[in-house]
Amino acid sequence: MIRQIAPLFFAKDMTRTLAYYQDKLGFNCQGTWQDPPEYAIVARDQHAIHFRCAEPPIANPNKYPDELLDAYLFIEDADALYAEYAARGVELVRGPANMPWHRREFVVKDCDGRLLAFGANL
């Protein structure tokens, strides 16, 4: 039985990426490997994201207009988390909205240009 899945993202500057996920998005660093770090894991509410230091693939030029997401995070309260992220200065791509698929969600852009959607049940 699969109980959890963790995305693996590439990061050009691991120190910058870890600081962003900790300071802006409220994740905790679970560990880093190598010095300087080549691999790291962050987690929030028992859900992890892994990072590997590498050049990311070439971006799709339509990524942002088409809102091509890199990850979708299921949360309990979209408005509360949105307010937290707004107060922390997170780059907000789309504010909270009720979606036809019965979720209230918003989208942020992280420090490496990834689009992360956060959605809560209506």
The structure's pTM equals 0.80
At residue 80, the pLDDT reads 96
Task: Please tell me what DSSP assigns to residue 58.
Answer: P
Segments of the chain with pLDDT less than 70: 1-2, 57, 59-61, 63-64, 66
List of domains in the chain = 1-55 (3.30.1900.10), 67-122 (3.10.180.10)
Give tens-digit pLDDT for 94-121.
999 999 989 999 999 999 888 899 999 9
Q: Give the contacts of 10 (CB within 8 A, at least 6 positions apart).
A: 51, 52, 53, 54, 55, 56, 57, 112
- Alpha-carbon distance 5 to 2, whole Å? 8
